[in-house]
């Protein structure tokens, strides 16, 4: 299968592949020790293939080859200038706040109603009754960040 991409589209593809690889690598690193190899090389193979074609596509200036292992990677300058670092930092920030809100809301929902009562609720009722807990935490963090969070 051949795919025709403009230079701009290929640069966007490089960014998307980089961000996808960053997410997958983060998850894989969490699940393995340092001396274990990657658990799924399918992703790494695609990243390698897309990055290796950058020179042929006219974007060799933003992909370099590691002299030690021969792996292609995006240059640090491109990562920073393209906004990739900012996008990934914004993504991490959004995931953090959403996960924190969801977990605290669910904790409070369980404490308030109990597992038995919740298990007997229809999904619509669960959503309706858990939403105020979600809204409370979303409002708190929007107004105060972590300032009022204590253990």
pTM of the model: 0.74
For residue 70, name the pLDDT band (cuts at 50, 70, 90): confident
Each residue's pLDDT tens digit, 73-103? 999 999 989 999 999 999 999 999 999 999 9
43/100 same-domain check: no
The answer to whether 141 and 104 are in contact (CB under 8 A) is: no
For residue 34, name the pLDDT band (cuts at 50, 70, 90): low
The string of DSSP letters for 42-59 reads HHHHHHHHHHHTHHHHT-
Q: What is the pLDDT of residue 30?
A: 66
* 101/142 Cα distance (integer angstroms): 11
91/57 same-domain check: no
Average pLDDT, the chain: 90
Count structural domains, the chain: 2
Indicate whether 35 pLDDT > 80.
no
| Structural domain boundaries enclosing 107 | 86-144
91/70 same-domain check: no
Please indicate, yes or no, if residue 150 is contained in any of the structural domains: no
67/29 same-domain check: yes
């Amino acid at each position: 299968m051949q795919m025709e991409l403009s230079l701009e589209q290929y640069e966007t593809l490089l960014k998307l592949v980089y961000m996808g690889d960053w997410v997958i690598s983060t998850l894989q690193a969490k699940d393995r020790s340092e001396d274990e190899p990657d658990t799924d090389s399918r992703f790494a193979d695609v990243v390698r293939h897309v990055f290796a074609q950058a020179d042929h596509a006219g974007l060799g200036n933003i992909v370099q080859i590691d002299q030690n292992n021969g792996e292609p990677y995006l240059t640090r300058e491109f990562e920073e200038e393209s906004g990739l670092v900012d996008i990934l930092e914004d993504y991490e920030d959004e995931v953090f706040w959403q996960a924190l809100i969801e977990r605290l809301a669910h904790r409070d929902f369980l404490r308030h109603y109990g597992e038995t009562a919740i298990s007997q609720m229809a999904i619509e009722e669960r959503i309706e009754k858990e939403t105020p807990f979600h809204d409370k935490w979303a409002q708190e963090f929007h107004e105060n960040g972590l300032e009022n969070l204590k253990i």
